[in-house]
Amino acid sequence: MRGRYLCWRLVRAVVTLLAMIALTFALYFAIEQHPPMSAFGSGPYTAQQIRAVRRLYFLDGSKIRLYFDYVSQLARGEFPHARTIDSSGRVVDAGSPSLYLAPKLRVTLAMLLGGAILVLLLALPLGALAGSRIGSWTDRCISLGVLILLCMHPMMLGLILRSAGGRLDWLPTSGYCPLSGHATLINSNGQPTGTCGGPLDWFTHLLLPWLTFALLFLALYTRMIRASVAETIHEDFVRTAHAKGASETRVLRSHVLPNASLRVLTMVGMEIGTAIGVCIYIEAAYGMQGLGNAAINTLGGNGDLSLPNTVAIVVLITLIVIIGNLLVDLLYTILDPRIAIRRNEGQTKSLVGGVF
Amino acid sequence: LRFRRDRWNVVALVAVVVVVFLGFFGGAVVSRLVGHSGNEQFPFAANSVLRPVGPFVRVPAPRHVRYDDYGGLVRPRAGGRTALLILGADGPLGRDELIRLLDGLRVSLSIAVGAALIALLIALPLGCVSGYFGGVTDAVVSQFTEIIMAFPLLLFLVFANTHLQGLRAVGWGWEFPAGVFDEALLIGVFTAFYPTRLIRAQMLTLRNAEFVESARMVGASHWRIMRRHLLPHLAPTLLVWAAVAVGTNILIEVGLSFIGVGVQVSTPTLGSLLTTVWGTVYNPQTYNSHNYTPWQTILPMLTIVVTVAALNRLAEGIRRAMEPKEQR
């Protein structure tokens, strides 16, 4: 049963990925009908130059064949290479987009994982506190605070925190430091201001982005944990635990909160896509060079749209979502083998704060 | 009515009604009262470094403004005509913040409601057909919604912003500024998967109910069963969804403003009022107290929070009133 279900999931994931690449192709070729000739200055252009530019923008061959070439290349585990025009006007290979995207992927993954951990660290105590005192002032204050955070936009929240952080001067407020090796920090005018690197710099530079991320997603998780705690707190086994003399925190920690873990996990799975969207804004707010930054530069650039780069970004983001969801599914079956694997058929996407 | 038993439900309902009224009539009424529109610029409403004035400030009316030989402003003599800016000015141009806020609320609400309607138009046939017939139809529709769900919406929007300028054309006068329709369309299309799944799930549970069986037995067509017997059952679910969706759409509109997609800059929305202070993804700005006042952030934020919170609470209230067994 489990194997068959996972197989079916995988097939659907592959179909989704293929459709996504096809959509990207459709959008790309809808726009690049008249490629910019900027590589050769202002006209008139020779036939050879026009041919070179059409080749540069992948307009010279069959689009269907190009699609299958791309898919087979991706299936072999490598991204299709970008093209560029060299000084003599010939179209040459510009290398794999993975060279350009690998450091960015690291930034985004660090953001996502650290942020997710911080969300849970904040949401569990808050949700438990609110859930065990439904209707009290503590509960109301937490609910209101969380609601206000829910209405914040990631970029605004990020910039507010960054401004406050800059005023207080406790934490570095921009840039990303690699965990190993060194990077040059650049200020807003593009001047280098120093180097940084190592675990400590990595951590302090990511702390504010993580906090931003966590505050944004706090609402969903706190509310859910609150609801779950409020439901289970009147169950018999909780009363038994109380009767046996366990302290309040102990009852909450080891008897009530584990019941919320499945719902939290479902939510994590559903929110991965949203989280990547949020990363675009947070990266922009803190001047970090992540996947979101790459997406904005590639897709929103000044007309210089590159098909291999676009496809690579779309594939990477989709893969993060798909792999994340599969992991959540696996964890699900490990955490609670009793339940049927047909999860979240009736489950719905989070009510508010969906897409940003 | 069970709905009226909880006083917070009533508060939320009143708040929503007030917000809608303020949005659709407030701007016009206030601009009639104070005698200027939201697009009129008051050079004296911003100081020499373009920091706008705060609430309840009277500034000289634009036609009393004179410039000296060097292009500097000449302060008019006391006693000339002044205009009252109830919530201060909106930025370097010195426009009335209150009127722009109310106008922005109107534009944001029309986008949000329009997007919800478009999503409903897409979701109703898709969800009904896939839930009612099941089988292959259901599989195809489910796969389709899954693709839309997984599609990185933001990527598309960034892309649309730079490359699909032709989208901006549709517009009709004051009530319906250019850009509202296509923004509603974008949001509607990309959020339609959610009501589709809701309707499908509801249909799946309803299609084998006794009353459907009996209708089928007396020879009613599929179309008639769906229209007369099943659609009324969807209404409560959709009502709850709509209240939440309008709130979410307002937040999405704010997000779109931050990537520079949507209505023209001269048309205020709740999002674009915020972007004047904080910039967009392409040029994020940290807070600068020399050029901006905190009001420029607090007022739009407050409007958003009140609107979204009231809509959410309303949805919650309706849901609880509809499902008495639901635990509080």
Would you give per-residue pLDDT tens digits along chain B (328 residues)?
Answer: 666 777 778 888 888 888 888 888 877 788 777 777 777 777 666 666 667 776 666 776 666 666 666 666 666 666 666 667 777 777 767 777 788 888 889 889 988 999 999 999 999 888 888 888 877 888 888 878 877 776 667 677 766 666 655 555 554 555 566 677 778 888 888 888 888 888 888 888 887 778 878 887 887 777 787 777 788 888 888 888 898 899 888 888 888 888 777 676 677 888 888 887 787 777 777 777 777 777 778 888 888 888 888 888 888 888 877 765 544 4
Give the nearest partner residue to B281 out of A31, A155, A163, using CB atoms: A155
The rounded percent of chain A whose pLDDT value lies above 70 is: 84
pLDDT digits (tens, 9 = 90+) for A89-112: 777 787 788 888 888 888 889 899
Give the nearest partner residue to B286 out of A150, A166, A352, using CB atoms: A166
CB within 8 Å of chain A, chain B residues 105-144: 143
Enumerate the residues of chain A whose CB falls inside 8 A of the CB of residue B161: 300
Enumerate the residues of chain B whose CB falls inside 8 A of the CB of residue A27: 156, 159
CA distances B209 to B80, B215, B286, Å, are 75, 10, 58
CB within 8 Å of chain B, chain A residues 274-333: 276-277, 280-281, 284-285, 287, 292, 295-296, 299-303, 305, 313-314, 317-318, 321-322
Residue for token digits 């904005």? A296
> Is the pLDDT at A309 greater than 80, yes or no?
yes
CB within 8 Å of chain B, chain A residues 146-175: 147-148, 150-153, 155-156, 158-160, 162-163, 166
Q: Does A16 touch chain B (CB under 8 A)?
A: yes
Enumerate the residues of chain B whose CB falls inside 8 A of the CB of residue A303: 162-163
pLDDT (average), residues A102-123: 89
CB A213 within 8 A of CB A237: no
Q: Does A145 touch chain B (CB under 8 A)?
A: no
pLDDT, chain A, mean: 78
Can you tell me the distance from the alpha carbon of B130 to that of B294, in angstroms, rounded to the nearest whole number?
50
Give the nearest partner residue to A317 out of B152, B191, B251, using CB atoms: B152
Phi-psi region of B55 (alpha: psi -120 to 50; beta: other; left: phi over 0): beta
Give the nearest partner residue to B286 out of A159, A302, A313, using CB atoms: A159
pTM of the model: 0.82
Instruction: Tell me the nearest-neighbour CA distance from A157 into chain B, angstroms.
Output: 10
Cis check for the bond before B62: say yes or no (omega within 30 of 0).
no
CB B84 within 8 A of CB B56: yes
pLDDT digits (tens, 9 = 90+) for A206-215: 888 999 999 9
pLDDT, residue A148, reads 82
Q: Determine whether the interchain pair B162/A351 forms a contact, defined as Cβ–Cβ distance below 8 Å.
A: no
Enumerate the residues of chain B whose CB falls inside 8 A of the CB of residue A156: 258, 274, 278, 297
Instruction: Tell me the nearest-neighbour CA distance from A216 into chain B, angstroms.
Output: 13
CB A60 within 8 A of CB A254: no
The count of C-alpha atoms lying within 13 angstroms of the C-alpha of A336, restricted to the half-sphere facing its C-beta, is: 17
CB A310 within 8 A of CB A233: no
Say if the ipTM goes beyond 0.85. Answer: no
Can you tell me the distance from the alpha carbon of A270 to that of B132, in angstroms, rounded to the nearest whole number?
26
Q: How many helices (H) and strands (E) does chain B have?
A: 12, 4
